Amino acid sequence: MISRINLKEFGDFIPVEASYVFSASSLDVVNKTRFSKYHEKVLETIEKGKVEAVFTSLELKKLKNYVGEKNYRKIYQKIWDLRDSLVVVLEIDDVSRLLSSNEAYSRLHKLYLNQNIHLADLSSVFVAIEYKIPLITDDDHHWGLQQAFQKIYRERHSKGKTSPGNLVFKMYSSEDFCKFLKF
C-alpha cells in the first residue's frame, strides 16, 4: 500500500528499520541491462512487503519516463497499490529550498549545478542522507559521486560526535541488495 508524505521540513517522515531508498535505475525491468534480473527481484521484495520502499516523487517521475506510462501503470502502480507492499513516496515540492537549508546539503546543490546530476538523482541521495537510509541504485551518476556523498553524509551527521569516521553513507547496487537479502 502506498502512502504519500509531503516533505516540507525535516522530521516529517520517520522510516522503519527495514527501509531503503530506491532510485529509478534499480527498478527498471522494461529496458534490459546487466542488472535487469536483480531489478525483478527488488520489485518482488517490495511487492511482498519485505522492506519499506522509499521513493521521492522525482524518482518515480524519472522511472515513468524510463519505462513509459503504460508499462508504469501495468507493472509498478499495481505493486504500489498492493496491500502487502510498504511504499512511501516523499513529495518534495521545493528541492532547492531543502538543499539550501543546511550547509552539508548546499554541497549537494553545488553537485547539481556543477556535475550535471539530475535533480531526481539528488532527491534520492538527499533522503538517504537525511534519514540515514541505504540507497539502492544502479545509476552511474550516483556511483561516480559516491565519495562526495560520503563526505556530505559525515558532515551532516557528525555534529557533536568526536569520530565521524564511523559514519558511513550506505549505497548498494541492486545486485548487492539481492545478495544481502539472499536471493
C-alpha span between 177 and 72 (Å, rounded): 22
Domain spanning 2-180: which CATH class is it, in words?
Answer: alpha beta
Task: Delimit the domains of the chain by residue range.
Answer: 2-180
In this predicted structure, the answer to whether residue 110 has a pLDDT above a threshold of 80 is yes
> Which three three-digit cell numbers place residue 91?
513529495
What pLDDT score was predicted for residue 158? 85
Closest to 149 in 3D by CA, of 115, 180, 174, 176: 115
Select the more confidently predicted residue: 156 or 135.
Answer: 135
Mean pLDDT of 19-37: 93
In this predicted structure, the answer to whether residue 98 has a pLDDT above a threshold of 90 is no
C-alpha span between 75 and 169 (Å, rounded): 30
